[in-house]
DNA sequence: ACAATCCCTCTAGTAACTATAGAGTCAAGG
DNA sequence: CCTTGACTCTATAGTTACTAGAGGGATTGT
């Protein structure tokens, strides 16, 4: 079975442009072409596209995915590199979460400053933002 | 007191290019210029730059900051819009956190699949990524 | 006088797409 | 046979908030 790009995109749950983008970025091998120059994807292409989309749904950067694809093609090597790659990504996600948590705290504190319906010039939110000391020195 | 851009940037804890960028984006009014065409910032410029940097440290998008700056200049209006703006941002942060939490779960599950030192072609991480069903249909 | 350091404008690069523009391909209906 | 519509092609620019560089001018210190 061969699929044109629209079908491939639909099956992988992404847009046509995204599929072309992956090809351009070297994540998807160039497919064969029809007589009218349409891309024709095989089942294997499709599997690879799904692989990419699944990794992306885990928010892995394209470069990591590129590395995973390469590693996958050396089946007799130990999977330590793969684990390391996943671990690093988990670390990234963890530190993003820590950052967001701090952000949330700061924002909630800021928000709680407003004493309720009042005028802008006496709003503590505005005041706190305007008299920041952390960005002064 | 007047400051040149390097001094202003240092005081606000950002790079020179960032200050110029804010000016270009209309977040900072154009400062006066010296004879040699150097930007000369006043204390007020500096305060506004700090305001922007502080909002940015809360990860507010520049457009929100632009709105805040506008709202701040209408001191006799009610601060409801300001509150709404902050609330929306808090919502964004909350949903980002929820997303990241899910991501973290998925990644930890994925990571735990690997049975330890083994070969790539029998690694469950690779298998799980390759046989994704969520991106198939 | 000269070097180091600052500053200027303009342009391009980052990540991962998304969205056009302008053209070609293909199947079905009248 | 012709046309309409859906699909595809390439190439280019836009998104966000900066960052980095080229190629030049200004200022400062010795
Ligand atoms: Zn208020
Ligand atoms: Zn601050
Ligand atoms: Zn393994
Ligand atoms: Zn999947």
If you average pLDDT over every residue of chain A, what do you get? 95
Residue B116 binned pLDDT confidence (cut-offs 50, 70, 90): confident
A26 touches strand D (CB under 7 A): no
**Measured CA distances, B125 to A79, A137, B45, B76 (Å):** 9, 49, 53, 60
In the predicted model, what is the mean pLDDT of residues A10-36?
Answer: 97
SS3 helix, strand, coil % of chain B, rounded to 5? 65, 5, 30
B59 touches strand D (CB under 7 A): no
Say how far apart CA A85 and CA A83 lie, in whole Å. 5
A59 touches strand C (CB under 7 A): no
Q: Ligand 3 centroid to A129 CA: how many Å? A: 49
Is A31 within 8 Å of A61 (Cβ atoms)?
no
Per-residue model confidence as pLDDT tens digits over A24-82: 999 999 999 999 999 999 999 999 999 999 999 999 999 999 999 999 999 999 999 99
Is A51 within 8 Å of A43 (Cβ atoms)?
no
Residue B130 binned pLDDT confidence (cut-offs 50, 70, 90): very high
Per-residue model confidence as pLDDT tens digits over B2-20: 999 999 999 999 999 999 9
Nearest chain B CA: its distance from A21 CA (Å): 18
Of B90, B94, B118, which is closest to A79 when you measure between CB atoms? Answer: B118
pLDDT(A107) > 90: yes
Q: Which residues of B touch A102 (CB under 8 A)?
A: none
Output DSSP code: residue A121: G
Say how far apart CA A11 and CA B76 lie, in whole Å. 55
pLDDT(A117) > 90: no
Q: Ligand 3 centroid to A75 CA: how many Å? A: 11
Percent of chain A with pLDDT over 90: 94
| Rama region for A37: left / alpha / beta (φ>0; ψ in -120 to 50; rest) | left
- Token readout for B128 is 């799980």
Look at residue A94 in the predicted model and tell me its pLDDT. 97
Per-residue model confidence as pLDDT tens digits over B13-49: 999 999 999 999 999 999 999 999 999 999 999 999 9
Which A residues between 94 and 113 have a beta carbon under 7 A from any strand C atom? none
Q: Ligand 1 centroid to A10 CA: how many Å? A: 48
Identify the residue among A116, A135, A136, A137 best suited for mutation to test binding to B, counting B beta carbons within 10 A and taking the highest: A135
A25 phi, psi to nearest 5 deg: -80, 0
Look at residue A116 in the predicted model and tell me its pLDDT. 81
Higher pLDDT, A6 or B133: A6
Distance, first Cα to last Cα, chain A: 66
Quick one: closest CA in A to B76, which residue? A119
């Amino acid at each position: 079975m061969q699929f044109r790009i629209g079908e491939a995109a639909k099956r992988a749950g992404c847009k046509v442009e995204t599929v072309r983008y992956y090809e351009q970025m070297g994540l998807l091998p160039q497919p064969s072409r029809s007589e009218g120059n349409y891309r024709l994807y095989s089942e294997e292409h499709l599997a690879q596209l799904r692989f990419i989309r699944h990794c992306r749904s885990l928010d892995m950067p394209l470069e990591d995915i590129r590395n995973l694809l390469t590693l996958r093609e050396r089946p007799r090597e130990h999977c330590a590199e793969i684990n390391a790659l996943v671990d690093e990504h988990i670390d990234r996600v963890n530190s993003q979460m820590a950052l967001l948590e701090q952000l949330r705290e700061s924002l909630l504190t800021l928000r709680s400053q407003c004493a309720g319906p009042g005028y802008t010039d006496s709003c503590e939110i505005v005041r706190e933002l305007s008299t920041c000391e952390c960005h002064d020195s």
